[in-house]
Structure 1
Amino acid sequence: MARGKVQLKRIENHVHRQVTFCKRRAGLLKKAKELSILCDAEIGIIIFSNHGKLYDLATKGSMEQLIERYMKSTRGAQIGEAEAKLNLELQEEIINLKQEIQLLQKGIGYLYGRKTENMTLDELHALEKHLENWMCHIRTAKMQIMFQEIQLLKNKEGILTAANGYLQGKIYEQTGIVEMPPDLTGFSYPH
């Protein structure tokens, strides 16, 4: 007599669920052992029950050795895939850089007097884009240098103004003048 097809869904009755778990766990472990013997395969199974109890099976050696072997093989596969992807990306980057170098060499040649008559429209657009980028970088660098110089000059001005006020105060102290003229810089003298 053939059994009917079992509907795969969670068994609601706790007792039935536990009985099914024990029977099926035993059947799964038995099938794994049979497969290992018949096919000379190394098999590892880890099962956690709904109560958190651990059941495991390692057909050859220990579970630790099997897990170690698994980690080595997956790590090697991951590294191989990562290296292949990286090589592909690097090759694409090399091709792009070679094209850019050729374009820049042409552009430099044209900057130094070669005629642009032999350039294609795309090459002229790319050269124009690079020139605009270079001009933008040059202007940015120039503005940064000018800003730094302005800041240095402002700092020097502040130092010189403070030193001037200090020296004027010393002069008035030595000459004995009680009332000092107002300072145009806004520095107040001690009396």
Structure 2
Amino acid sequence: MVRGKTEMKLIENVTSRQVTFSKRRNGLLKKAFELSVLCDAEVAVIVFSPRGRLYEFSSTSMEKTIDRYRTHAKNGINNSEVTQQWKFEATSMSRKIEFLEVSKRKLLGESLESCSVEELHEIEGKIEQSLCNIRGRKNQLLGEQIAQLKEQEQMLTKENALLREKCKLRSQPPQAAPEETVPCDHDSQNMEVETELYIGWPGRRRTN
């Protein structure tokens, strides 16, 4: 089946216009990516939807590509053009911020009425990837905490063992010192002592 040639005019039907915009936008960004890969070209594409949403693609960095463009387009730019350029950049940044806020609300499950099936599938994939990263980080932190608790448990176990040893040493009664034995001479106790009493002048003894 041969596709008919599309007439280049505004699509009156809002739904058809939105569907066509989504398809052609994806095709444009895909072609820009292929051009950057196949030809090693520096490509940057900026697209604003009818509702003011920003879609962009850059093979390197959007800011670097814009700076490079400004460097090549410096000649012949007057002050009024510079002012207009800054206004355009300010408007672009405000729209980009608005786009990020819309994306944030979508990730939170809000303002999903205007999303297509493809966009919902993309949001679902981002949320699942975020959950996977969060769970991985949580498991890592829990593992580190468990390792620290095990180390503390080992230290407390060693300290407890030392305290038990000290308590055992303190609870043991002191050993009595050996009693000193005094030698006792039984013969000397039974020995009779003889005494002699003499009355009279010195030098004279009574003879028995």
* Same fold flag (TM > 0.5): no
Greater Rg by CA: 2
Q: Which has the higher helix share?
A: 1
TM range (shorter): 0.3 to 0.5
Name which structure has the greater RCO, CA cutoff 8 Å, separation 6+: 2
Q: TM-score, normalised by structure 2?
A: 0.36
